[in-house]
Amino acid sequence: MTRWTPTEAPPPHRRWQSRQEILREYLDSLVQWNFGVCAPSIMHGPWGWDFKKNGYAVGRLEFFEWLEGKAGFKLDQPRWPKGNGDDSGRWSGGAGTASPGIGHNSGQATRGGHHFVPRKIFDNEPLRPETRKVFEDGVTGPLRGGRHQNSKEHSTYNEAVYEHYQTFLHNKGIRPEEMTPQQARKLVNEVKRSSDPRVRDLNLRIYRREILYWLRRIQRGNE
């Protein structure tokens, strides 16, 4: 009998890793779809993508709301009144309605986050103040886990929203200055639910990053 001899060197020994490190490395290695397969409780819950209907499954909005709640976002939070410069209309972080000074800190992390209709692209639109406020408020809540690299995802997202906005105005037969807050709300919701991969993929990626961030925090908290 011929004795079998290995033709390749055995793989080098890996250094010792804690369970948390292994999990973290594993989660980091997952792309969107296999993350959904390996962590179905997170991605394939009632809020997931419905492949048959090619749309978001019922309950996804509740998931957004859960995340927003996790991040400290509340719809009825007080906002800075008019006349507070760039802060007008933004969340005041529960700090009442006094003007925010330099170094203003309510102790609550309530501001910031991803605007579904990108903030800088509606900034110079001739919108009514109450309509603008709807776009201002259409955010995910504060984000913690997103580092930027030189990807073009924001540009493609902006372009998709731009096209969507143009189509929306055309279909309604209105000009930007005529857009009502109700119409703006409808537009924001359409962007949120959009199945356009340019929009959907970025939104999902943001939520995935935040979920990973919170998973890691929970892990760290349990250590």
Partner 1 sequence: MSTDEDRLHEERLEQFERLMNLVDRVMKQFGRHDSLSALGDYSVLGDYWGYPQVKVDVHDLRLLDPYIIEWLKNIVAAFPGWEIVVTVAIRGHYDDWPDMGLYVRAHEIFDTLQRQYFPKEFQTLEYEGSRRGAEAEAWPL
For the segment 156-185, give every residue that binds partner 1 (CB under 8 A): 156, 158-159, 161-162, 165-166, 176
For the segment 113-132, give every residue that binds partner 1 (CB under 8 A): 113-115, 117-125
In the chain, where does DSSP find H-type helix? 19-29, 32-38, 40-43, 60-70, 119-122, 129-137, 153-172, 181-193, 197-222
Token pair of 78 as six digits:
């007080």
Q: Which of 151, 167, 189, 195 binds partner 1 (CB under 8 A)?
A: 151
By the rule CB under 8 A, 200 interacts with partner 1: no
Count the Cβ atoms, other than its own, within 10 Å of residue 101.
7
Q: Tell me which amino acid residue 119 is.
A: R
Give 48 or 180: the residue with its C-beta nearer to partner 1.
Answer: 180
How far apart are alpha carbons 188 and 139 in whole angstroms?
A: 9
Give the β-pairing of 49-50 and 55-56.
antiparallel
Binders of partner 1: how many residues, by CB under 8 A?
Answer: 48
Burial of 207 (0-12, 13-18, 19+ CB in 10 A): buried
How far apart are alpha carbons 146 and 76 in whole angstroms?
A: 26
By the rule CB under 8 A, 77 interacts with partner 1: no
Q: How far is the CB of 61 from partner 1 (least distance, A)?
A: 20
Q: Give CA 180 to chain center in angstroms.
A: 25
Q: Which of 17, 105, 182, 189 binds partner 1 (CB under 8 A)?
A: 105
Count the Cβ atoms, other than its own, within 10 Å of residue 132.
19
Q: Which of 18, 41, 54, 149 binds partner 1 (CB under 8 A)?
A: 149
Q: Where does this chain touch partner 1 (CB under 8 A) — which range of 8-16, 42-50, 54-62, 145-153? A: 145-153
Q: Where does this chain touch partner 1 (CB under 8 A) — which range of 3-11, 15-23, 59-67, 138-146? A: 138-146
Give 55 or 198: the residue with its C-beta nearer to partner 1.
Answer: 198
Burial of 180 (0-12, 13-18, 19+ CB in 10 A): middle
**Interface pattern 17-36 for partner 1 (x via CB under 8 A):** --------------------
Q: Which of 32, 34, 97, 155 binds partner 1 (CB under 8 A)?
A: 155
For partner 1, the binding residues (CB under 8 A) are 86, 93, 102-109, 111-115, 117-125, 139, 142-152, 154-156, 158-159, 161-162, 165-166, 176, 213, 217
